[in-house]
Chains A and B, each alone.
With several copies, the nearest count.
Chain A
Amino acid sequence: MTEAVLDKPKGQNRIGLLLSDYKGAESTLCAGCGHDAITSSIIKACHELGIEPTGVAKLSGIGCSSKTPNYFLNQAHGINAVHGRMSAIATGSSLANRTLTNIGVSGDGDTASIGLGNFLHMVRRNIRMTYIVENNGCYGLTKGQFSATADKGSLKKGGKEINQNEPVDICALAIQMGCRFVARSFSGDTNQVRNLIKAAMNHNGTAVLDIVSPCVTFNNHEGSTKSVTYARLHEDPLHEVDFIPHFDPITVNYDAGTYTKVEMHDGSLITLKKLAHDYDPSDMDRAMALLHEAAGNGHFYTGLIYCRPDSVPFGEQKNIVDVPLATLPESVTRPSRAVFNQLMASFK
């Protein structure tokens, strides 16, 4: 449906840009890495939404996944933080400039191991950003060690060592911390990923996307629930996700029996076409129960797990002016001489 926005001359989107205008540097990841597929989905989502690339801030930590912001949106500023702390950097930059569209890409190690505490606090603050975890159950860049989302019982490559811990469920923790847009997907399900990203980018707060993204080099073996084959075979979409941006309203009749509609704060619409499940993503306890069930039996549900568009992002909570703090003029940021004198007098 949303492909409608592409009906512009020569593949131009609504602001006249081509898909190629959303590309980045050449990827240096392994051939076949799930992360590259997500990069493509981000590029397409931004193109389809007609996002102004120069208005985007790309944020990441350290890891193979965290390298990817370099591989999309060349015209957007990007930053590699230190390992696990993109959350803090993103919080600061989103306060400095509330007009930026924030896309964060992290890994499971970056977010759920070293970055867990800071990530959860960022989620709690609800800064406005799309936060993608490219979840491969391992540390790709340091050569395949277990991460906090590694499968329980998985064997170390070439070693006896067995992972004994339950994988951390990023979605469940995000929901518990008050996140109001939580999705799970699979890098190979490019359609779903693209649409979830589009929806996420229109969410008025932190949107967490936990995307299984196979590490074809270190965690693609049989038995891994993060392998390409496993994800392909086991993905069980809760619904078919589509996104209709506010600027492109389409007057199709969505039958409530077959569709769930979620209206975003800006008038955009997420449509969830029912598949085998009858799933309501607005019910928090239901979402938690689903995640617990999935964790218990290794089920790989994908789609929009939890969504409550009535969300107050941090900048609004803080009642900050709409224009960027970064570029406020001295006349605004430095109080007057009268105030100065008044202050000095108070200490006398």
Chain B
Amino acid sequence: MPPTMTATEALVEELQDRPVVNDVVINVATVNGSGSQSANFILLRALFSMGIPVSGKNLFPSNIEGLPTWFTIRANEDGWLAQRARTDVVIAMNARTVAEDVAQVHPGGILIINEALKAHATRDDILTYVVPYGEIVKQVCEDTRLRKKIVNVIYTGVVARLLGIEMDAIDAAIDHQFGGKPKAIKMNRDAAQAGYDWAGENLEAQNRYRVQRSNKTDGKMIIEGNEATAIGMLFGGVTVAAWYPITPSSSVCEYLTGYMEKYRHDAETGKATYAIVQAEDEIASIGMVLGAGWAGARAFTATSGPGISLMSEMTGLSYFAEIPAVIVDVQRMGPSTGLPTRTCQGDIAKTYQLSHGDCKHVLLIPGNVGECYEFAMEALELAEQLQTMIFLMSDLDLGMNKWMADPFNPPSKPIGRGKVLDAKDLERLGGFQRYGDVDGDGIGYRTLPGTPNNKAAYFTRGTGHNAKAEYTEKAADWKTNMDRLSHKFETARKLVPASIVHETDAATVGVLAYGSSDDAVQEARHILQERHGVKTDYIRVRALPYPADVRAFIERHPVVYVVDQNRDAQMATILRGELFDLSGKIRSIRHYDGMPLDADTVVQQLLHQESR
């Protein structure tokens, strides 16, 4: 069910006598490796600095240079920043895709097209502006090699002129982008200005889409989820990270490396208070994390689908031998190698029970960049507290796109290291049982290798063990231990972040979503209410095992739509399987074409099912 224009939207469209202000979707179609990325960021940040909420989503191919790339900027006064199918303004720079790019402009919208491609500018239901970038760039850039890159910045000036973006804002964005590189700043400013000036002189002004200064971004920031995750790890006191490059997760550890180099070297000796290892593969990276966790370090790895598969076996060891570990899964479209540069929530059901045999894992599922940061800290915390594997389930949309957010909250609680006994404790206690359940929460006490006490040692194994960590094959021992692990999972249920519940007066329809779907779902609720008179309540689940509030929410509603960004309705199926007495109420909304979720998809699938 591809999102199409609703009747209401069409109506709005036709009333083009007054401009739509601060509500525009701009799509820039370029070629990757052409340096268009910085031009797009400049545009994004200029809008942001004018006080207009923005988001930026990069649709890039799984190659390095020469293939089509799109960057979509949505600016919206009311803060609706999710993916939106309708494109108001298209900047067409790519010969390969120009036909579809032109076709993409919403009726009544604006096309800004490179003169070289103007043969394709054949639509008369849109405003078309032809720009001779090739000529303009000659005037601002002597160096022919640099022209290829700088040419893109020109369109920022053109767009600025047409939409009303202030050149001050563009300049400020350029300064931010090239911080500390005066030469680059100058060149980019010149290029943008050239575009602006040229447009002023040569293009007819339009009155369809306008932007104007607002104050909706005061105090806000723009950040990618992966960078937020890295910051969370930094402030979570991570000491060991091991990783293997894979899109879209690589930047988590790359950002982290930068921060650690800056902030985590001993002032006196210059020595590192951490270790980051680029491992030879994913089995090694998760193995290193387990080794580090066993030895007492806060450790994590970041990966994506194929890495998750390779980490299966070690995940079972973490679960069963109860070794703290964290895996950040920045989900991409699978199965198999799939679409490495497209987003998906396809690993939810997989990670939840990753590895052979009976095991279930704790998943933290951030719904925005702030939670990427918070949950990164929390994942490290819970891993040590629960002595098990914690998955941080991000995705490509969240991880690699540009999100507006409030500044994060500084760490609010001290770093807890879980139930670790040191030499003194052991002296006092005279010993301990590694896998005993002293506190009734299913969590035993552990000691770290190197603890200077001859009662400290125990043997860690993935084979059957009793409370004293001794090898056993006895049926009763096995069952006791497995039941304790189930009990520990119930403890986890109480410790994970509560869901976020939005309840409305008199709503009967419930919506349940998770992760990066949040923006689109929020907008969908708005549309449902405003345009279709359908009131919805909304619960955003932020963890598995889902906390008790999920059952309560479903119980309170006659029907709950579960929004999954995957084909197999993974979350819906988990909930149906576990909350089986309520499963009659659970309906499914699925989205799985690799694009970030948009509100229309939710609206249409929901209305469709409601009308049945």
* Complex contacts, A113 vs chain B, CB 8 Å: 244, 280-281
Shortest distance from the beta carbon of B212 to any chain A beta carbon, whole Å: 21
Contact in complex: B452, A54 (CB < 8 Å): yes
Whether a CB of chain B sits under 8 angstroms from the CB of A57 is yes
Residues of B within 8 A of A148 (CB): 280
Pick the residue among A217, A320, A334 that contacts B271 (CB under 8 A): A320
CB-based contact B263/A85 at 8 Å: no
Q: Is the CB of B314 within 8 A of A82?
A: yes
- Residues in A whose Cβ lies below 8 Å from that of B452: 52, 54-55
B416 to chain A: closest residue by CB: A330
Chain B interface, >50% SS class = loop
Q: How many residues of A contact B (CB 8 A)?
A: 84
Q: Does B462 contact A (CB under 8 A)?
A: yes
Q: Interface segment, A90-98, A253-261, A294-302?
A: A90-98
Category for how many chain B residues contact A: 35 or more
Return the CB mask of B297-323 against A: 1 if under 8 Å, else 0: 111000000100000011001000100
B229 to chain A, nearest CB (A): 13
Which chain A residues lie closer than 8 Å to B245 at the CB level? 139, 142-143, 145
| A322: nearest chain-B partner, CB-CB | B271
B178 within 8 A of A: no
User: Once the chains bind, are A93 and B415 in contact (CB under 8 Å)?
Assistant: no
Whether B284 and A118, one on each chain, are in contact in the complex, defined by CB atoms closer than 8 angstroms, is yes
Residues in A70-88 with C-beta less than 8 Å from chain B? 70, 74-85, 87-88
Interface: B584 (CB within 8 A)? no
Say yes or no for B159: interface residue by CB 8 A criterion: no
Say if the beta carbon of A339 comes within 8 Å of chain B.
Answer: yes
List CB contacts (< 8 Å) of B409-461 with chain A: 410-411, 414-415, 447-454, 456-461
Cα distance A348–B219 in the bound complex, in angstroms: 7
Name the one of B219, B295, B298, B336 contacting A93, with C-beta atoms under 8 angstroms: B295
| Cβ A57 vs Cβ B295 within 8 A | yes
Contact call B294/A79, Cβ cutoff below 8 A: yes
B410 x A325 contact (CB < 8 A): no
**Is B125 an interface residue, CB under 8 A from the partner?**
no
Fill in one digit per residue for B165-197: 1 if any A CB lies within 8 Å of its CB, else 0: 000000000000000000000000000000000
Question: With A28-B63, A70-B471, A141-B63 in contact, is A92–B291 under 8 Å at CB?
Answer: yes
Interface residues of B in 86-115 (CB under 8 A from A): none
Does B222 sit within 8 A of A, measured CB to CB?
Answer: yes
Chain B nearest Cβ from A185, distance in angstroms: 23
A101 (CB) vs chain B CBs: closest residue = B450
CA distance A332 to B265 in the complex (A): 9
| B306: chain A residues within 8 A (beta carbon) | 82-83
Q: For chain B residues 356-396, which have a beta carbon within 8 Å of chain A?
A: none
| Contact (Cβ within 8 A) B261 A161 | yes
Query: Are the CB atoms of A340 and B291 closer together than 8 Å?
Result: no
0 or 1 for each of B224-249: is its CB under 8 Å from A? (1 = yes): 00000001001111111010111100
A93 touching B294 in the complex, CB below 8 Å, given contacts A30-B65, A70-B471, A81-B287:
yes
Give the residues in chain A near B254, CB-CB below 8 Å.
159
Q: Mark A297-319, 1 if CB is under 8 A from B, else 0.
A: 00000000000000000010011
Cross-chain contact A318 with B457 (CB below 8 angstroms)? no
Residues of A within 8 A of B457 (CB): 53-54, 74-78
Q: Are B273 and A348 in contact, CB atoms less than 8 angstroms apart? A: no
Give A99 to B449 CA distance when docked, in angstroms. Answer: 10
Output the nearest chain B residue to A115 by Cβ-Cβ distance.
B281
**A77 and B237 in contact (CB under 8 A), knowing A92-B299, A95-B275, A113-B281?**
no
Which residues of B lie under 8 Å from residue A156 when comparing CB positions? 257
B426 to chain A, nearest CB (A): 10
- Chain B proximity of A252: nearest CB distance (Å): 35
For A318, A326, A333, which residue has the most chain B Cβ atoms within 10 angstroms?
Answer: A326
Q: B596 an interface residue at 8 Å Cβ cutoff?
A: no
**Which residues between 211 and 235 of chain A lie within 8 Å of chain B, taking CB atoms?**
217
Contacts of B462 in A (CB 8 A): 80-82
CB neighbours of B242 from chain A (8 A): 91-92
Q: A78-B457, A347-B221 are in contact. Are A92 and B240 (CB under 8 A)?
A: yes
Interface residue? A290 (CB, 8 A): no
Q: How far is the CA of A53 from the CA of B274 in the complex (A)?
A: 26
Whether, in the assembled complex, A31 has its beta carbon less than 8 Å from a beta carbon of chain B, the answer is: yes
Quick check: A143 and B250 within 8 Å, CB to CB? yes
User: Chain B residues near A341 (CB, 8 Å)?
Assistant: 410
User: Which residues of chain B have C-beta atoms less than 8 A from A327's C-beta?
Assistant: 296, 448
User: Which partner residue on chain A sits nearest B369 by CB separation?
Assistant: A347
Which of B560-578 touch A at CB < 8 Å? none
Asked if A167 is an interface residue, CB under 8 A from chain B, the answer is no
| A117 close to chain B: CB less than 8 A | yes
Asked if A328 is at the interface of the complex by the 8 Å CB criterion, the answer is: yes
Q: Considering the chains assembled together, what is the distance between the CA atoms of A226 and B563 in angstroms? A: 48
How many interface contacts (CB-CB < 8 Å) are there between A and B?
A: 288
Which among B259, B273, B288, B448 is the interface contact of A88 at CB below 8 angstroms?
B288
**Binary flags per residue of A116-136, CB closer than 8 Å to B gives 1, else 0:** 111001000100000000000
Which listed residue (A87, A217, A326, A330) contacts B65, Cβ 8 A? Answer: A217
- A87 near B284 with CB under 8 A, answer yes
A160 contacts the other chain (Cβ, under 8 Å)? yes
Chain B, residue nearest A86 (CB)? B287
> In the complex, what residues of A have CB within 8 A of residue B298's CB?
333
Q: Are B280 and A114 touching (Cβ within 8 A)?
A: yes
Nearest-neighbour CB distance to chain A for B73, whole angstroms, equals: 17
Q: Provided the pairs A142-B250, A217-B65 are in contact, do residues A79 and B460 lie with their beta carbons within 8 angstroms? A: yes
Instruction: Determine if A335 is an interface residue (Cβ-Cβ < 8 Å).
Output: yes
Cα(A324)–Cα(B298), bound, Å: 12
* A53 to B250 CA separation, bound complex (whole angstroms): 38
Is A325's CB under 8 angstroms from B239's CB? Answer: yes
Q: Could you give, for residues 256-296 of chain B, a 1 whenever the CB lies within 8 Å of some chain A CB and a 0 otherwise?
A: 01110101101001111111011111111111111111111
B206 within 8 A of A: no
- Whether a CB of chain A sits under 8 angstroms from the CB of B33 is yes
- Which residues from chain B contact A145 at a C-beta distance below 8 Å? 245, 250, 278
| B305 CB → nearest A CB, Å | 11
CB distance from A36 to the nearest CB of B (A): 12
Q: Which residue of B lies closest to A343 (CB)?
A: B231
Q: Do A97 and B295 touch (CB < 8 A)?
A: yes
Tell whether A96 pairs with B287 under 8 Å between CB atoms, given A78-B459, A161-B257, A333-B273: no
Are A85 and B287 touching (Cβ within 8 A)?
A: yes
Residue among A70, A76, A159, A333 with most chain B CB within 10 A: A333
Smallest CB–CB gap between B285 and chain A, Å? 8
* A29 contacts B by Cβ under 8 Å: yes
- B447 to chain A: which residues have CB within 8 Å? 77
Give complex CA distance A113, B220 in Å.
Answer: 42
Check if B1 is an interface residue, CB within 8 A of chain A: no
**26 residue pairs from A and B, CB less than 8 Å apart:** A30-B65, A54-B450, A57-B449, A67-B63, A75-B456, A80-B462, A88-B284, A89-B287, A91-B287, A92-B291, A93-B449, A94-B295, A95-B297, A97-B295, A97-B297, A113-B281, A139-B245, A142-B245, A159-B254, A159-B257, A319-B272, A320-B272, A324-B296, A334-B236, A337-B410, A344-B221
For the complex of A and B, 10 pairs with smallest distance between CB atoms? A88-B287, A92-B291, A326-B296, A333-B237, A96-B297, A92-B288, A347-B221, A96-B295, A77-B449, A114-B281
Contacts A53-B457, A82-B287, A96-B293 known; 18 new A-B pairs at CB < 8 A: A29-B63, A76-B449, A81-B462, A83-B306, A88-B285, A88-B287, A92-B295, A94-B295, A95-B240, A95-B291, A96-B294, A100-B450, A114-B280, A142-B250, A325-B239, A333-B238, A339-B263, A347-B221
Residues of A with Cβ closer than 8 Å to B? 25, 28-31, 52-55, 57, 62, 64, 67, 69-70, 74-85, 87-97, 99-100, 113-114, 116-118, 121, 125, 139-143, 145-146, 148, 156, 159-161, 217, 315, 318-322, 324-328, 330, 332-335, 337, 339-341, 343-344, 347-348
